[in-house]
Structure 1
């Protein structure tokens, strides 16, 4: 029986690439967040004792988290809306829900990823 010369569909490959990129982003964020927490704790302890630089760092941490949550919500909404609009405008297109979901998650994690990377770099060179 002759082998088929058809190429396999690329959708599973693309979804796998998106999932792998998501896993790498999550591991990098976890490492950066751990470093940031470890380097921020002594500064926050000083702030608890009345040091103004520690109190500024605590304020900065809270403001960053609130703005990251807001930006993440907007990014996730935009990515989901782009998926649904694309589906509505081209209903006959092949749709891969796994790939679309991974894209939405990647877009929603971008603000957190950017901030954790920046904080780890900033606090690492602080000394």
Structure 2
């Protein structure tokens, strides 16, 4: 499970990540990343945590399938949240093929998208 401090909950934060962040799409998901490096924090304060949110629409499947995809994505993001710059906002949007994807396929797509957004991958 993704720790509470690392969860994206407010509508405005989702909108900021999607509208002002960079985007990388793969077969099963699209990742939006708004890097936290643009807002310097006050001296002596620790950097805000990276926060992640998930969007899984009804196009992915029924309630059971959507919840399974969300749980899988949260688990995968928990393992990767330390790789992202402090204060970043991440929105992972599952596409319809994600409902039929297994854990390994979602992990590959998430890794590829994050690598591209962090500057390590080509288009």
Greater strand share, structure number: 2
More helix by share: 1
TM range (shorter): under 0.3
| Bigger-Rg structure (1/2) | 1
Query: TM-score with structure 2 length normalisation?
Result: 0.27
Task: Calculate the TM-score normalised by the size of structure 1.
Answer: 0.27
